[in-house]
Chain A
Amino acid sequence: MSILAEFRLDRPNFLLDIAVEMPGKGVTAIFGKSGSGKTTLLRAIAGLEKEVKGRLSVSGKLWQDEKVFLPVHKRPIGYVFQEASLFPHLDVRKNLEFGYRRRGGRISPEQASEMLGIEPLLSRSTEGLSGGERQRVAIARALLAGPELLLMDEPMASLDRDSKREILPWLEKMKRELEIPVLYVSHSPDEAAALADHLVLIEQGKVQASGPVSELMTRLDLPLAHGEDAESVIMAAIESHDIENHLTTVSFPGGRLHLPYHEIVPGKMVRIRILAKDVSLALDPAQRSSILNILPAKVEEIADDGPGGAMVRLSAGDAKLLSRITRKSVHSLSLAPGMKVHAQIKGIALLK
């Protein structure tokens, strides 16, 4: 059960040469700069780029090779475009029913509307909807076409900050409640960190790397693990709540972390995001520190990061962490791969 894609497109000023295997479950983020070819890859998987030659099989079924080209309308996909692209001559309900009537699926229009919170909009025309509402309708419409694979092309890129905040929880909910594999094109590390299980990095029409999100985001040979916004993602389980101190404790094989209280049942798996710049390193366990979260960790790799800066990759259990410190500190602590350190974590965000 996986998606095998080999695509080639030779255009003046643009070469696409992709060979990648993606998991047939969970969310795979296809990540790259604008113009890198990530949208072309997604469109080729949908069959919307007839000039792209190659081979594509999804869950063992052949969709395209030298002889076969399954037309778009025969591919069991859902596609969410960057702009909602609702049909202007149909109201919200008729938009939702368009694909449902033709292909149908496990989900009913009622379920999809409920899942995306658009029941109050059903009888409305598409004209008066906000950007966030439009995109939610577009997502529900794609889900109702009974997809075995959901393709999303930066569904939040054309939205303002508030609408993005409005959409993200619905996407997370969708991910939890449905078992449809999703390919999610994005150029935002935050979206990838929040949603993706697997990452495919695209650079100038080629696959630069492909792997689990927590690994790729901390690989120092890749651009994601550099700069101000570099971050690591840890999968952890809710362990307990300390109501009195308004804290929640999560645990993972590398240790325990405390973060502001979240009302989630213990045992549930959550994603924790830690920014590299919020992690500092100490050789000795801190005595009487105000920092709540200190993890024993091992230095795996060190790389330069900007003028005077260094990025350190740490392992704590099977989790990877990034720490962005100064090059001066690297020297004064004589940091080197293999050393045991204490990672002092200033800020933690829970992504659900």
Chain B
Amino acid sequence: MNQEDIGAIRLTLELATIVTLLLLLAGTPIAWWLAKSGSRFRNAVGALVALPLVLPPTVLGFYLLLLMGPNGPVGHFTEAMGWGLLPFTFPGLVLASTLYSLPFVVQPIQNSFEAIGRRPMEVAATLGASPFDSFLKIALPLAKPGLVTAAILGFAHTVGEFGVVLMIGGNIPDRTRVISVQIYNHVEALEYAQAHWLAGGMMAFSFIALLILYTFNPAKK
């Protein structure tokens, strides 16, 4: 493994960690709303969140590129705030990855919230707990299996993504070049030995991630 490979591994882990934290922060309230709301927009929001499951990453990457570019609304906003443009930067990668992995985090958490049912929250309310208090002390602890699943899936999925990264981030060493892109580079250059190290590592990592998932969170009988 050369210096660039190690840089790619470091960058990937950094990206996945930040994205997982953001996903849990953003995904939990979205999942709660989807699980509990009677709003007529519920299905539309649910479908929107699930879009990355079925879209090719290039489609999502393409539109994100337009939105975040100099002529897009997000681009206007980030320039007005003095942050510059997000495409081909690490923050741009974080934003795109977060959106792309959102369904992998929202759905397990939503399922957990739905499985709790309304009763424990009603009991908490009759015992004097405000809705937010009940959410923190009852709903979140009861949804722990879903939160663990969500974190593992979000992390692993971010580590494994390629298309969106290439569309938004390109291939800039130590800034946007993650493992999957680096593997692509090695294969392009016919450096199969190097490609094996990274690709094999990814295989092992993904297997272990899923093994942890199934061990601590076995499927319901």
Residues of A whose CB lies within 8 Å of any CB of B are 46-48, 71-73, 75, 77-79, 81, 83, 85, 87-89, 98-99, 102-103, 141-142, 145, 151
Contact = CB atoms under 8 A, between A and B. Distances in A.
B127 A85 contact: no
Closest 6 CB pairs of A and B: A99-B127, A102-B128, A79-B126, A103-B128, A72-B125, A89-B141
A89 B143 CA distance: 10
Interface footprint category on B: 10 to 19
B191 interface: no
B13 interface: no
B124 A81 contact: no
Nearest to B117: A85
Interface in B138-197: 138, 141-142, 144
Contacts of A47: 125
Given A85-B119, A85-B120, A77 B126 contact: yes
Given A48-B122, A72-B122, A81-B119, A89 B127 contact: no
21 contacts: A46-B126, A48-B122, A48-B125, A71-B125, A73-B126, A73-B128, A75-B126, A78-B126, A79-B126, A81-B123, A87-B138, A88-B142, A89-B144, A98-B129, A99-B126, A99-B128, A102-B128, A103-B127, A141-B127, A142-B127, A145-B126
Contact of B128 (A85, A87, A145): A145
B124 to A, nearest CB: 7
Nearest to A83: B119
A145 B129 CA distance: 10
A73 B142 contact: no
Nearest to A100: B127
Contact of A73 (B120, B130, B137): B130
Given A48-B125, A73-B125, A88-B142, 14 more contacts: A73-B126, A73-B130, A77-B126, A81-B123, A83-B119, A85-B120, A87-B123, A89-B144, A98-B124, A98-B137, A102-B128, A142-B126, A145-B127, A151-B126
Given A87-B138, A88-B142, A89-B141, A79 B123 contact: yes
Contacts of B134: 73
B132 to A, nearest CB: 10
Contacts of A81: 119, 122-123
A75 B142 CA distance: 25
B123 A85 contact: yes
Contacts of A151: 126
Given A81-B119, A85-B119, A85-B120, A98 B142 contact: no
A145 B123 CA distance: 11
A48 B125 CA distance: 9
B109 to A, nearest CB: 16
Contacts of A103: 127-128
Nearest to A80: B126
Contacts of A46: 126
A79 B119 CA distance: 12
A89 B142 contact: yes
B194 to A, nearest CB: 48
A66 B137 CA distance: 32
A98 B127 contact: yes
